[in-house]
Structure 1
Amino acid sequence: MTDSSSTLRNGLRILDLLEKTSGLSLTDISKQLGINKSTAYRLLATLIEEHRVKKIQLRYSLVHADFHSRLEQSSSLNPISIPVSNKILDKFDTTAFIGILDKSNVVITQVFPKDSGFSEFRVLGNVTPVHLSALGKAIVAFLPKDSQHKILNDLSFTVGTKYTLDDQNIFQRNLDVIKNTGFALDDEESSLGIRCLAVPIFRNDQVIASFGLSGTFQSLPRTKLQKIAKQLARSSQEITNEFF
């Protein structure tokens, strides 16, 4: 059997396995299929890129057909792959991300790692409620009010940390601030010790995605947030000007 045939067969086996469950860890998939972890991880990363599999926290599960339909029909979810040049990324000394909206969640569809290590891609395909993510907030804040209200009404306001904005009225006020300032901040709201900054990406004056950075307090110090946000906004505008 050729390597390509073996890869395809193992990828199909993963899909068949996940179809029978509500989600499995990397260790479970590796054990149940008799595939070593590094191989299973690479296959899962590819399936996430192809939007066949999603990862929520440490569990992998299938992406259902209605998600693909929304990807094709909704302008807010199109395009999935947004070209970002190294020239833009060289401005930032931390990992960058692209996020798109899926109902009341944001999905990380692209990762631009600071280092070449494979571990940076672990969040690819992660699905997070918009109130727990700077990427999500940066999109929702710039949606029309009726779309925004629908998302807020659908949110369960899951608590990530003691800093999570878990009240609808407070979150609405935060979205208004984001629209005025032009950038969204997740300051330990989803993970303690981690700060995220994001800005919207527009096409034809409509928000279609978000572009953000994530890092420690050292890599994204509070004293430099305004400056970094302005750089991010300029980079987002460059993406719009060049590709949309």
Structure 2
Amino acid sequence: MSQYEVSTLKKGLQILDLLQANEVMSLTDIMDYFQWNKTSTFRLLYTLENMEYIQKNSRGYSLTDKMSGQKQPHHPMVDWVSVPALLELSQRLGETMYIGVLDGTDVVTTQIVDGTHSMRIHSTIGDRDPAHGSALGKAILAFMEPDTQKPFLRQLEYTKSTIHTFDDKQLFVYHLMDIQEKGYAIDDEETEMGVRCIAAPIFFNGRVAASVAISGPVSRLPKAKDKLISKELKECSQRISKQLEQKGRS
């Protein structure tokens, strides 16, 4: 070891590198990998956890958003360019429309146009939902470039918000492939019971930049309407994407 190296700091960084590559590891896993004793390893993990670089759950230790958090670049232009298209579709279908972007394991709502029904889903800008259960989140994840998608997928914990939420990593990957083939994503009571949501990706500069969604109660957005509504929603997302490209060139 170089005379300038600090051994404890080096070990802490080695743990971070290891968790970056392996997602989740137990205390024993980390001890065995480095051939360190239990006391030293625990102290290092405790310090990193206390400083919020790592977190502990039932499966072991993993990086927090402080280290591994991926943020989708947000283009504020998406929020205001999308309003006319959102307003038109919302008035035609009567349901609330949304724009969302990814922030780590969550999708964050950045724009809302309320529906015309007296009873509707109430949301506010800044609301967050787990990306793996949200149509907004899945529509973005499915259309990401593989190198961009992988860091986001590594963070997902697949917690269940309802009995319908995906909690299997491999099945979720296949689900994203199906979304990419269809061109739209559905939240079928995965975030909240009694509520369905359909979303489509928005592209800017050749990459998925956000997603647009329509949401409402199951009684007004039943599966029987998925084909019709998804067609309208994809036309809406394509319109927004086209306007973004035009604004980007001007």
* Separation in 1, partners of 2:182, 2:80: 24
Shift of 1:103: 2.0
Partner of 1:137: 138
Q: Corresponding residue for 1:211?
A: 212
- Any idea what SS the aligned residue of 1:124 has? coil
SS at 1:209 equivalent: strand
Query: Which SS does the other structure have where 1:81 is aligned?
Result: helix
- Normalized against structure 1, the TM-score is what? 0.65
| Aligned 8 A contact 1:199 1:233 in 2 | yes
Distance 1:112 1:177, change over 3 A: same
Does the aligned pair in 2 maintain the 1:111–1:120 contact within 8 Å?
no
* 1:103-124 Cα deviation digits (max 9, x unpaired): 221100111101498x965432
- What residue in structure 1 maps to residue 195 of structure 2? 194
Gaps spanning 5+ residues in structure 2: where? Answer: 1-65, 246-250
CA distance in 2 between partners of 1:104 and 1:144 (Å): 17
Structure 2 residue aligned with 1:82, among 77, 80, 83?
Answer: 80
List, as ranges, runs of 4+ consecutive aligned residues in structure 1 with deviation greater than 3 Å. 119-123
CA shift, 1:223, in A, is 0.9
Whether contact under 8 Å (1:100, 1:108) holds in the other structure is yes
CA distance in 1 between partners of 2:187 and 2:228 (Å)? 16
Q: Tell me, which stretches of 5 or more residues in structure 1 are unaligned? A: 1-65
Match of 1:164, SS? coil
**1:104 and 2:105 are equivalent in the alignment:** yes
Alpha-carbon RMSD? 2.3
Deviates more, 1:215-224 or 1:195-204: 215-224
Mapped pair 1:149 → 2:150 = yes
Offset at residue 162 of structure 1 (A): 0.9
Q: Is the 8 A contact 1:138 1:178 kept in 2?
A: yes
Change (3 A) 1:153 1:200: same
Aligned-partner SS, 1:139 = helix
Q: Distance in 1 between matches of 2:101 and 2:125?
A: 12
Give the fraction of aligned pairs with identical amino acids, expressed as a percent: 37
Query: 1:64-100 CA deviation, whole Å, 9 max, x = no partner?
Result: xx9xxx88xx5x3213623221334333221111101
Contact 2:94 2:117 in 1 (8 A): no
Q: Structure 2 counterpart of 1:109, which letter? A: T
Instruction: Check conservation: 2:204, 2:241, Cα contact below 8 A.
Output: yes
Following the alignment from structure 1 to structure 2, what is the Cα–Cα distance between the partners of residues 214 and 116? 12
- Mapped partners of 1:156, 1:106: distance in 2: 14
Q: Which has the larger radius of gyration?
A: 2
Aligned pair count reads: 173
What is the rounded CA distance, in whole Å, between the counterparts of 1:82 and 1:146 in structure 2?
29
